[in-house]
């Protein structure tokens, strides 16, 4: 149907074997038969959790992101320990590590391809409800502050551009849409 758009993978070479990402040069054959180079950042994947408490508050973590040099408010998230790790188990671990919480109810919302123009990272996003508080135990190089806000305020922050993190924005909007659908009644 759209075969005239498909690039064919030919070969790859590791250019940089990083701790979080691995940069590879991929040789591809273009739809017109010509060859081209693609730089691809390879990532094991991640999971993220939009956690909603019984009062309609979303749980967020504030942290400094040096790559953009600012404090951000994001949903709890973290990378898979390996590409073979179950994303659901990663989501449970990250919620516990960053917030100290566990959840009775889980629903997978989506799998986000963060930047498909040059990176193969996929973030599995879950909705967690029925929250129970425990103790936070972030990674030793992770410094976060847990905060709550009404889901409606989080939606407003997405719409006004305050929340610029893609996974957080998408998760908030999907959670809000689901919450609206579950509270809508036909009178």
For the record, the structure tokens of 99 come out as 């917030």
Task: Specify whether the backbone of 6 is left (phi greater than 0), alpha (psi in -120 to 50) or beta.
Answer: beta
Q: Measured between alpha carbons, how far is residue 104 from residues 54, 92, 127, 132, 180 in Å?
A: 12, 11, 11, 8, 21
The answer to whether residue 7 is catalytic is no
Catalytic one of 34, 74, 140, 142? 140
Chain position carrying tokens 């690039």? 7
| DSSP code at position 40 | E
Contact 187, 136 (CB under 8 A): no
Q: Which residues are within 8 A (CB) of 17 and not within 5 positions of it... i.e. 6 or more apart?
A: none
Q: Which residues are within 8 A (CB) of 12 and not within 5 positions of it... i.e. 6 or more apart?
A: 24, 25, 26, 27, 40
Q: Which residues are catalytic?
A: 140
């Amino acid at each position: 149907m759209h075969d005239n758009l498909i690039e064919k993978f030919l070969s790859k070479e590791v250019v940089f074997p990083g701790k979080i990402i691995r940069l590879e040069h991929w040789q591809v054959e273009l739809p017109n038969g010509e060859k081209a180079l693609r730089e691809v950042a390879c990532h094991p994947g991640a999971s993220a959790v939009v956690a909603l408490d019984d009062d309609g508050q979303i749980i967020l973590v504030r942290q400094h992101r040096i790559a953009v040099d600012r404090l951000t408010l994001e949903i709890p998230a973290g990378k898979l320990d390996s590409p073979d790790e179950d994303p659901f188990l990663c989501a449970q671990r990250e919620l516990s590590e960053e917030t100290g919480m566990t959840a009775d109810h889980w629903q997978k919302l989506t799998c986000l391809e963060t930047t498909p123009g040059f990176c193969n990272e996929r973030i599995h996003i879950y909705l967690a409800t029925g929250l129970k508080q425990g103790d936070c135990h972030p990674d030793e190089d992770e410094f976060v502050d847990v905060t709550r806000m009404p889901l409606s305020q989080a939606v407003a922050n997405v719409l006004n551009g305050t929340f610029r993190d893609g996974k957080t924005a998408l998760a908030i909007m999907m959670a809000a849409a689901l919450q609206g659908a579950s509270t809508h009644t036909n009178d």
